[in-house]
């Protein structure tokens, strides 16, 4: 059965190997240049005092490849589910070959076990290798990006879980629907749905976030703003590197933000200045603008409240999310075994 | 080796057709003692009939004393169907009919006649007179 | 003698409809069994139940003394050729044989290759490029080379031309003669069954109408024709299967364990053809709606 499965799977495996080799070549050729760029511009940018533009330059280089390689990891698990999972059993039903192969001397359980085993392991390996290569390529860029959490699903080990789930769902859909195209469609919908649901409804709650209160400091981006929704507001950018920020607010001890009235009176000299309206400030504000007084008054009563996941938890999240998807895959696989053995038609 | 034909529309059972074709072959001299009949496998590969039909026919022929199976080798002809000429047959038929008439007019019924015949038959062939 | 196939009250239901109902059979080993009936009668359902591709809704079925698809040895004892002989289109003939070797522990590759050569099939040709007759022969080789004790064939010759049909049956009978396998062969072509079967099962409208040894059946059924008379005037030991009347004459087909001695009748033996059609008509008369389509080809 192992040899038969390998034979039947040979073309799909070859395509996967081909794609991986192609990605490897691209990554190997273009990767070192990013590392070099990092080493020469960003690594010693503090000495030169020009970090922000060096970082911006790095993070916007090779933008086409960034998009392509990033999307690759979103697309690979879906393709696995569609082209390796959905046809697995559906094709046998469509062509009637299940009547041939399930009456050889191999039980349906063993047939499914070997198929899921070989194709499942291959899927996870493909996703894992792709993720490895892409993560390596992106590592210089990731060092300068604001938060590694923004590219969470395109790095690390989660793709392995996504691939396992997509495959398992595809096989289940094919088993129940018995036609390849509708099963592929159902798999796509379910995969996208599951990924969106986990990303927005599950991942934020996997671990209780940390809540912290920080005194206000004048840093790049500290500002008084006028926006259409809330009118006047005081804004302090977050300075916790690589964290996943849930919320960031300026509040007093009872949790209230500065009211518009308070800001108008605290910062009126700023507001009545010739330029008027919105002011955003560099770390060394113009002493005549009135900002330092405005800031001092706000900082006396208010502080910054940040709810976030610290960078140290990144890999815990990766493991949890992978486990969720692998767990779903195992449940689906178990269902398939049960169905194939007992119900079938 | 003879080949059998099957007439599906003749109304005669398949195994009987095989028996009849062996009889015919024997009468025509196409089969002689020592010749091998086709194996069941060979017959059905040609005719696409049930092998048991062939085996049944061969068993009937064996009971008639015309063939005998040799285990592991096949079925072989052991006797021949003699052909008497028509004139001799007619002469013997006439004398038998005369005898029957006289037995009947003597008051013998069919069973008595048959008893006499069987006794004579047994006596004659048991003595081994040619 | 163990039964090759034994069922007891076997039934398969889909929603409200019973595809097979209350089927009780005991087919002995070593027979070539003809399973005949119109389309939709339940033949495929019965055979798919026998190989474990379907699970019964009610009743039981045992093949070679074991439950279908119970395990590898049970699966190995049955050689199955499904309707329309499915094959992997993109796989060559030789690769199909390799599949057989990989998936069957008792595979006889020498026999498989010899048969393929005898049939004149090109081992490198893809199964999708074979003609219907060649595919059927390939499927039969696949079923044979695993050395089963019973062959179950679901309308294997239905879509074949007469020559291909004849060649298929020749191969099948040769194998039966050589290896003594039991065969269950379903068809709605009575003529083919007549040649090869020595056991008959007639299935109409999901029920078994008739089953038994062909020679026993032929000996116990009679064609009676004579002056017109009513069915009720026949003795109780003669079960009427079919009747037809003109104003002066009546013709009956009856089943009787005793010989017919009424001198008023002209008694003729029935053919297998007559027998099957008679029971099919009887079943159709009993069924108030729906016309099963009959197939008689000579």
Q: What is the CATH number of the domain that holds C181?
A: 3.40.50.300
CB pair distance less than 8 Å for B41 and C197: no
On whether both C95 and C62 belong to a single domain, the answer is yes
Q: What angle do CA A205, A209, A212 make, to 5 degrees?
A: 160
CB contacts of C90 in chain A (<8 Å) are none
Q: Do chains C and A touch (3 or more CB pairs under 8 A)?
A: yes
Which pLDDT does position C236 carry in this prediction? 81
Q: Strand, coil or helix: what is B84?
A: coil
On whether both C207 and C235 belong to a single domain, the answer is no
Contacts of C264-268 with C-beta under 8 Å, sequence gap 24+, read: C264/C226, C264/C227, C265/C224, C265/C225, C265/C226, C266/C224, C266/C225, C266/C226, C267/C222, C267/C223, C267/C224, C268/C222, C268/C223, C268/C225
Q: Is B40 on the interface with C (CB under 8 A)?
A: yes
CB contacts of A102 in chain C (<8 Å) are 52-53, 69
Structural domains of chain B sorted by starting position, each given as residue range(s) with its CATH number in brackets: 8-77 (1.10.10.10), 86-127 (no CATH)
CB contacts of A96 in chain C (<8 Å) are 82, 84, 86
Of the listed ranges A180-194, B71-85, C68-82, the least confidently predicted one is B71-85
In terms of Cβ atoms closer than 10 Å to its own Cβ (0-12, 13-18, 19+), residue A152 is middle
* Strand stretches in chain A, DSSP E: 210-215, 223-227, 231-235, 244-251, 279-280, 303-309
- Contact assessment for residue C96 and residue C90, using Cβ atoms and an 8 Å cutoff: no
pLDDT band at A278; cut points 50, 70, 90 = low
Chains in touch with C (3+ beta-carbon pairs under 8 Å) read A, B
- Contact assessment for residue A191 and residue A77, using Cβ atoms and an 8 Å cutoff: yes
Residue C72 domain flag: yes
CB-nearest to B44 from C177, C198, C271 is: C177
When pLDDT is averaged across residues C139-154 and rounded to a whole number, the result is: 93
Top-confidence residue, B84 or B22? B22
On whether both C204 and C224 belong to a single domain, the answer is no
CB pair distance less than 8 Å for B48 and C177: no
- Identify the domain boundary among C156, C186, C215: C215
On whether both C182 and C279 belong to a single domain, the answer is no
CB pair distance less than 8 Å for B50 and C196: yes
Which pLDDT does position A61 carry in this prediction? 82
- Identify the domain boundary among C166, C187, C215: C215
Residue C126 domain flag: yes
CB contacts of B48 in chain C (<8 Å) are 166, 169-170, 172-173, 195-196
Interface of C with B (CB under 8 A): 32, 166, 169-174, 176-178, 191, 194-198, 271
On whether both C220 and C191 belong to a single domain, the answer is no
Which pLDDT does position B84 carry in this prediction? 62
CB pair distance less than 8 Å for C99 and A96: no
pLDDT at A54 over 90: no
CB contacts of C72 in chain A (<8 Å) are 105-107, 110
Give the CA distances from residue A21 to residues A10, A130, C281, in Å, rounded to whole numbers and listed in that order: 16, 10, 68
Pick the residue from chain C with its C-alpha nearest to B46. C170
Counted domains in chain C: 2
pLDDT tens figures, A165-182: 999 999 999 999 999 999
* Residue C88 domain boundaries: 3-215
When pLDDT is averaged across residues C80-84 and rounded to a whole number, the result is: 92
Q: Do chains B and C touch (3 or more CB pairs under 8 A)?
A: yes
Which pLDDT does position A344 carry in this prediction? 63
Residue C295 domain flag: no
CB contacts of A12 in chain C (<8 Å) are none
C288, two tokens: 């108030």
The DSSP-derived string for A25-58 is HHHHHHHHHHHHHIIIIITTHHHHT-HHHHHHHH
On whether both C20 and C39 belong to a single domain, the answer is yes
Q: Is B39 on the interface with C (CB under 8 A)?
A: yes
CA distance B54 to B46: 12
On whether both C147 and C163 belong to a single domain, the answer is yes
CB pair distance less than 8 Å for A97 and C86: yes
* pTM greater than 0.90 (yes/no): no
Residue C291 domain flag: no
CA distance A116 to A126: 15
User: Count of B–C CB contacts within 8 Å?
Assistant: 49
Closest-CA distance of chain B to residue C196, Å: 4
CA distance C116 to C123: 8
CB pair distance less than 8 Å for C173 and B39: no
CB pair distance less than 8 Å for C69 and A107: yes
CB contacts of A9 in chain C (<8 Å) are none
On whether both C32 and C95 belong to a single domain, the answer is yes
CB pair distance less than 8 Å for C194 and B8: yes
Give the CA distances from residue C226 to residues A97, C247, C248, in Å, rounded to whole numbers and listed in that order: 55, 12, 9
Burial A188-206 (b: 16+ CB within 10 A, else e): bebbeebbeebeeeebeeb
Q: Give the residue from A220, A225, A213 showing the smallest Cα distance to A237.
A: A220
pLDDT tens figures, A240-252: 888 999 999 888 8
Share of chain A above pLDDT 90, in %: 56
Q: Residue B29: which region, alpha, beta or left (left: phi > 0; alpha: psi -120 to 50)?
A: left
pLDDT tens figures, B31-57: 888 899 999 999 999 999 999 999 999
Which pLDDT does position C297 carry in this prediction? 46
On whether both C77 and C182 belong to a single domain, the answer is yes
Share of chain A above pLDDT 70, in %: 92
On whether both C10 and C76 belong to a single domain, the answer is yes
On whether both C258 and C163 belong to a single domain, the answer is no
- Identify the domain boundary among C215, C235, C258: C215
Residue C297 domain flag: no
Q: Which residues contact B49 (CB under 8 A, 6 or more apart)?
A: B6, B14, B43, C173, C195, C196
- Contact assessment for residue B14 and residue B6, using Cβ atoms and an 8 Å cutoff: yes
CA distance C182 to C27: 10
Interface of A with C (CB under 8 A): 1, 3-4, 7, 95-108, 110, 342-345
Q: Is C78 on the interface with A (CB under 8 A)?
A: yes
Closest-CA distance of chain C to residue A343, Å: 7
On whether both C98 and C239 belong to a single domain, the answer is no
């Amino acid at each position: 059965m192992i040899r038969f499965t390998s034979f039947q799977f040979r073309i799909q495996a070859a395509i996967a190997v081909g794609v991986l080799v192609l990605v490897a070549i691209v990554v190997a050729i273009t990767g070192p240049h990013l590392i070099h760029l990092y080493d020469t511009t960003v690594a010693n940018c503090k000495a030169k005092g020009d970090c922000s533009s060096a970082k911006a330059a790095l993070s916007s280089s090779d933008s086409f490849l960034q998009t392509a390689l990033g999307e690759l990891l979103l697309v690979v698990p879906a393709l696995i589910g569609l082209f390796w999972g959905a046809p697995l059993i559906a094709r046998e039903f469509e062509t009637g070959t299940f009547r041939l192969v399930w009456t050889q001397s191999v039980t349906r359980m063993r047939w499914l076990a070997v198929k899921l085993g070989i194709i499942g392991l291959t899927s996870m390996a493909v996703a894992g290798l792709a993720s490895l290569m892409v993560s390596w390529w992106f590592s210089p860029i990731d060092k300068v990006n604001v938060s590694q959490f923004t590219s969470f699903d395109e790095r690390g080990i989660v793709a392995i879980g996504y691939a396992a789930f997509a495959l398992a769902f595809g096989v289940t859909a094919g088993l129940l629907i018995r036609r390849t195209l509708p099963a592929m469609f159902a798999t796509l919908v379910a995969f996208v749905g599951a990924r969106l649901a986990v990303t927005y409804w599950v991942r934020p709650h996997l671990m209780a976030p940390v809540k912290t209160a920080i005194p206000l400091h004048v840093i790049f981006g500290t500002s008084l703003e006028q926006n259409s929704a809330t009118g006047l507001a005081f804004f302090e950018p977050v300075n916790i590197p690589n964290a996943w920020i849930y919320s960031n607010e300026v509040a007093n001890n009872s949790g209230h933000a500065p009211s518009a009235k308070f800001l108008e009176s605290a910062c009126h000299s700023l507001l009545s200045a010739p330029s008027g309206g919105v002011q955003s400030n560099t770390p060394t504000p113009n002493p005549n603008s009135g900002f330092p007084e405005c800031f001092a008054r706000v900082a006396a009563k208010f502080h910054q409240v940040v709810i976030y996941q610290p960078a140290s938890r990144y890999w815990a999240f990766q493991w949890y999310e992978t486990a969720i998807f692998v767990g779903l895959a195992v449940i689906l696989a178990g269902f398939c075994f049960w169905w194939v053995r007992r119900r079938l038609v | 080796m003879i080949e059998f034909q099957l007439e599906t529309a003749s109304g005669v059972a398949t195994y009987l057709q095989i028996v009849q074709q062996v009889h015919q072959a024997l009468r025509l001299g196409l089969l002689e003692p020592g010749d091998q009949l086709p194996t069941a496998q060979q017959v059905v590969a040609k005719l696409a009939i049930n092998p048991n039909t062939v085996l049944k026919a061969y068993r009937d022929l064996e009971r008639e004393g015309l063939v005998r199976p040799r285990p592991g080798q096949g079925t072989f002809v052991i006797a021949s169907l003699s052909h008497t000429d028509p004139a001799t047959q007619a002469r013997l038929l006439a004398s038998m009919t005369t005898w029957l008439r006289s037995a009947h007019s003597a008051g013998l019924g069919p069973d008595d006649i048959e008893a006499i015949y069987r006794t004579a038959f047994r006596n004659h062939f048991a003595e081994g007179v040619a | 003698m163990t039964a090759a196939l034994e069922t007891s009250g076997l039934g398969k239901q889909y929603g409200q409809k019973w595809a097979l109902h209350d089927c009780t059979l005991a087919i002995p080993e070593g027979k070539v069994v003809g399973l005949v009936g119109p389309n939709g009668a339940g033949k495929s359902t019965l055979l798919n139940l026998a190989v474990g591709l379907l699970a019964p809704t009610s009743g039981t079925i045992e093949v070679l003394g074991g439950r279908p698809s119970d395990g590898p040895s049970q699966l190995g004892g049955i050689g199955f050729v499904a309707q329309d002989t499915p094959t992997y289109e993109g796989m060559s003939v030789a690769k199909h044989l390799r599949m057989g070797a990989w998936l069957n522990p008792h595979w006889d590759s020498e026999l498989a290759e010899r048969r393929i050569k005898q049939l004149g099939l090109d081992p490198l040709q893809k199964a999708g490029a074979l003609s219907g007759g060649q595919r059927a022969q390939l499927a039969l080789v696949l079923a044979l080379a695993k050395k089963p004790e019973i062959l179950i064939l679901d309308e294997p010759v239905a879509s074949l031309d007469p020559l291909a049909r004849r060649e298929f049956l020749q191969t099948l009978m040769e194998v039966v003669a050589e290896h003594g396998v039991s065969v269950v062969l379903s068809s709605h072509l009575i003529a083919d069954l007549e040649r090869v079967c020595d056991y008959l099962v007639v299935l109409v409208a999901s029920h078994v109408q008739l089953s038994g040894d062909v020679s026993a059946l032929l000996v116990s059924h009679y064609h009676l024709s004579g002056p017109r008379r009513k069915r009720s005037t026949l003795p109780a030991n003669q079960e009427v299967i079919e009747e037809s009347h003109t104003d002066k004459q009546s013709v009956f087909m009856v089943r009787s364990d005793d010989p017919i001695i009424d001198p008023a009748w002209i008694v003729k033996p029935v053919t297998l053809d007559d027998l099957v059609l008679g029971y099919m008509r009887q079943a159709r008369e009993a069924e108030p709606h729906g016309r099963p389509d009959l197939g008689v080809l000579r």
